[in-house]
Amino acid sequence: MNMPPPGMRQRCRFDPGPNRGKSANCPEEEVLQALAAGIGPPGLIELHLGHIADCERCALLLKTYVSDFTDELTAEEEAILSELKTSKPEWQREFLRKILHRIASSGTTK
């Protein structure tokens, strides 16, 4: 079996099913998500780093998951959030008033 030279990114063979492009060496997407979120067990990144560096599919998925887990919002996301009624100070004040009223009515305090 011919192996690509180390460091040369390869395309994993394409699969027409739900795991399109996944090879037998690709980690599960849950593993890539854990890596992106920084919640994997010790040694997880070291275990998969070589493969991710050489596999276009896994590298792209990891990049996507890292982007998903970042706290920074895109301009489009900011615009969508600003249009939500829950982002308006008036709605937030009314919501808080309702919560306080329910607490006062039930006699529940902490």
The verdict on 35 and 68 lying in the same domain is: yes
The verdict on 44 and 81 lying in the same domain is: no
The verdict on 100 and 59 lying in the same domain is: no
> Measured between alpha carbons, how far is 87 from 72 in angstroms, rounded to an integer?
17
Domain of 2? 1-72
The verdict on 84 and 39 lying in the same domain is: no
The verdict on 50 and 83 lying in the same domain is: no
The verdict on 52 and 90 lying in the same domain is: no
Longest dimension (CA), the chain: 74
Domains identified in the chain, total number? 2
Minimal CA–CA distance to 48: which of 25, 19, 65, 23? Answer: 25
The verdict on 55 and 100 lying in the same domain is: no
Residue position matching structure tokens 């599960």: 28
The verdict on 83 and 30 lying in the same domain is: no
The verdict on 7 and 48 lying in the same domain is: yes
The verdict on 57 and 97 lying in the same domain is: no
In tens digits, what is the pLDDT along the chain, a chain of 110 residues?
344 444 444 444 444 344 567 888 899 999 999 999 989 888 898 999 999 999 999 999 999 999 888 888 889 988 998 999 888 888 889 888 888 888 888 865 55
The verdict on 56 and 83 lying in the same domain is: no
| pTM to 2 decimal places | 0.51
Q: Kindly list the distances between the CA atom of residue 16 and the CA atoms of 10, 13, 20, in Å, as whole numbers in the listed order.
A: 18, 10, 5
Number of other CB atoms surrounding residue 27 within 10 Å:
19
The verdict on 32 and 57 lying in the same domain is: yes
> Measured between alpha carbons, how far is 84 from 102 in angstroms, rounded to an integer?
24
pLDDT for position 87: 86
